[in-house]
Structure 1
Amino acid sequence: MKSVLYFFFLVTSLFAQQGEWQIVQTPVNANLKFIHAIDSSNIWAAGDSGYILYTSDLGKNWSIQRMNENFNINDIFFLNDSLGWAVENGNDGINVINNLLRTTDGGKVWQSNRFRPDNVIIYSICFKDSNYGIIGGEGIFSFTSNGGIDWNEINRDSALFSNFPVRKLRYVNDTIAFAVGGYYDFGGVIWHSYDSGRNWITDSAYADPFFDFLLLNDSTIITIASDIERSFPSAVFKTTNLGASWLFNEIPYYGVSRGISKRTIAEIWATYQREFIYSSDGGHNWFTKSTPDGIEVFDITFLDSIQGFAVAENGKFLKYIPSTLNVENNNLIDENGFTLLQNFPNPFNSSTNIQIVLLINNFIKLYITNSIGEKLLTLFDGNLSKGLHNFKFQGDFLASGVYFYVLEVANPNQFQLNHRAIGKMILLK
Structure 2
Amino acid sequence: MRKFLLYIYLMFFYCNCFSQWHPANSGLEELFNPFLSVYNLIGLNGNLYALYGGKGTILFSNTYGESWTLIDLHKDNFYPNWCDNCLESSGDTLYIGNTRPTPSNIIFRSWDNFKTWDYIDFPVYIDISAMTIKINNIYIGTRGYGWIAKSQDFGKTWYVKDDKLYPYNENADIIDINVFGSRIFVSLNNPNHPDYNGIYYTDDEMESFKMAEINSVNRNSIRFSRHNEVLYAFADNEAYKSLDSGITWNSLKQSFGEFTPNTLEFAFKDSIQIVGGFKEAKIIVSTDNGKTWTKKDEGLDWGARCLTIYGDYVFAGTSNGIYRARLDELTAVDDKKYKTDFTKILPNPFSEKTRISFNLEEPTYAKITVYNFLGFVIDVLAEGYLSEGYHEFTFDGSALASGTYYYVLQANGKVETGKLVLIK
| Interval containing the TM-score (normalised by the shorter chain) | 0.5 to 0.7
Residue 204 of structure 1 aligns to which amino acid in structure 2? Answer: E
User: Residue 64 of structure 1 aligns with which residue?
Assistant: 70
1:249-268 alignment to 2 at 5 Å? 250=253, 255-257=262-264, 259-265=265-271, 267-268=273-274
User: Residue 100 of structure 2 aligns with which residue?
Assistant: 90
Q: Tell whether the 8 Å contact from 1:263 to 1:303 is kept in structure 2 after alignment.
A: no
User: Residue 115 of structure 2 aligns with which residue?
Assistant: 108
Among 128, 148, 151, the alignment partner of 1:141 is 148
User: Residue 355 of structure 1 aligns with which residue?
Assistant: 337
Deviation, structure 1 residue 155: 7.5
Deviation, structure 1 residue 110: 2.7
Deviation, structure 1 residue 117: 2.7
- The answer for unaligned runs of 5 or more in structure 1 is 1-17, 227-233, 325-338, 347-353, 358-363, 367-381, 388-407, 414-418, 425-429
User: Compared with structure 1, are the counterparts of its residues 307 and 193 closer, same or farther at alpha carbon in structure 2 (3 Å cutoff)?
Assistant: farther
User: Compared with structure 1, are the counterparts of its residues 90 and 30 closer, same or farther at alpha carbon in structure 2 (3 Å cutoff)?
Assistant: farther
Q: Does 2:57 correspond to 1:51?
A: yes
1:325-340 alignment to 2 at 5 Å? none
Residue 144 of structure 1 aligns to which amino acid in structure 2? Answer: S
User: Residue 347 of structure 2 aligns with which residue?
Assistant: none
User: Residue 322 of structure 2 aligns with which residue?
Assistant: 317
1:283-302 alignment to 2 at 5 Å? 283=290, 292=299, 294-302=301-309
Q: Tell whether the 8 Å contact from 2:362 to 2:389 is kept in structure 1 after alignment.
A: no
User: Residue 214 of structure 1 aligns with which residue?
Assistant: 225
User: Residue 5 of structure 1 aligns with which residue?
Assistant: none
- Alpha-carbon separation, structure 2, partners of 1:423 and 1:319: 15
Q: CA RMSD in A?
A: 4.4
User: Residue 376 of structure 2 aligns with which residue?
Assistant: none
Q: Does 2:234 correspond to 1:224?
A: yes
Deviation, structure 1 residue 246: 1.4
User: Compared with structure 1, are the counterparts of its residues 147 and 243 closer, same or farther at alpha carbon in structure 2 (3 Å cutoff)?
Assistant: same
User: Residue 154 of structure 1 aligns with which residue?
Assistant: 161
User: Compared with structure 1, are the counterparts of its residues 221 and 422 closer, same or farther at alpha carbon in structure 2 (3 Å cutoff)?
Assistant: closer
Deviation, structure 1 residue 115: 3.9
Q: Tell whether the 8 Å contact from 1:78 to 1:84 is kept in structure 2 after alignment.
A: yes
- The answer for unaligned runs of 5 or more in structure 2 is 1-17, 343-358, 365-387, 394-408, 415-424
User: Compared with structure 1, are the counterparts of its residues 36 and 254 closer, same or farther at alpha carbon in structure 2 (3 Å cutoff)?
Assistant: closer
Q: Which secondary structure state, in structure 1, belongs to the residue aligned with residue 21 of structure 2?
A: strand
Greater Cα offset, 162-171 or 19-28:
162-171
Deviation, structure 1 residue 148: 0.7
- Alpha-carbon separation, structure 2, partners of 1:249 and 1:161: 30
TM-score (norm 1): 0.61
Deviation, structure 1 residue 87: 0.8
Q: Does 2:225 correspond to 1:202?
A: no
Larger Rg: 2
Q: Which secondary structure state, in structure 2, belongs to the residue aligned with residue 355 of structure 1?
A: helix
Deviation, structure 1 residue 204: 3.4
- Alpha-carbon separation, structure 2, partners of 1:50 and 1:310: 19
- Alpha-carbon separation, structure 1, partners of 2:106 and 2:157: 14
Residue 21 of structure 1 aligns to which amino acid in structure 2? Answer: W
- Alpha-carbon separation, structure 1, partners of 2:63 and 2:412: 28
Q: How high is the sequence identity, in percent, across the aligned residues?
A: 14
Among 217, 226, 244, the alignment partner of 1:241 is 244
TM-score (norm 2): 0.61
User: Compared with structure 1, are the counterparts of its residues 293 and 21 closer, same or farther at alpha carbon in structure 2 (3 Å cutoff)?
Assistant: closer
Deviation, structure 1 residue 77: 0.7
- Alpha-carbon separation, structure 1, partners of 2:128 and 2:59: 20
User: Compared with structure 1, are the counterparts of its residues 276 and 32 closer, same or farther at alpha carbon in structure 2 (3 Å cutoff)?
Assistant: same
User: Compared with structure 1, are the counterparts of its residues 180 and 384 closer, same or farther at alpha carbon in structure 2 (3 Å cutoff)?
Assistant: same
User: Residue 90 of structure 2 aligns with which residue?
Assistant: 79
Question: Paired residues, what number?
Answer: 323
User: Residue 313 of structure 2 aligns with which residue?
Assistant: 307
Q: Which secondary structure state, in structure 1, belongs to the residue aligned with residue 55 of structure 2?
A: helix
User: Residue 12 of structure 1 aligns with which residue?
Assistant: none
Q: Which secondary structure state, in structure 2, belongs to the residue aligned with residue 90 of structure 1?
A: coil
The CA deviation string for residues 144-185 of structure 1, in whole angstroms up to 9 with x for no partner, is 122112221138766558885222223344x34433343579
Q: Tell whether the 8 Å contact from 1:19 to 1:323 is kept in structure 2 after alignment.
A: no
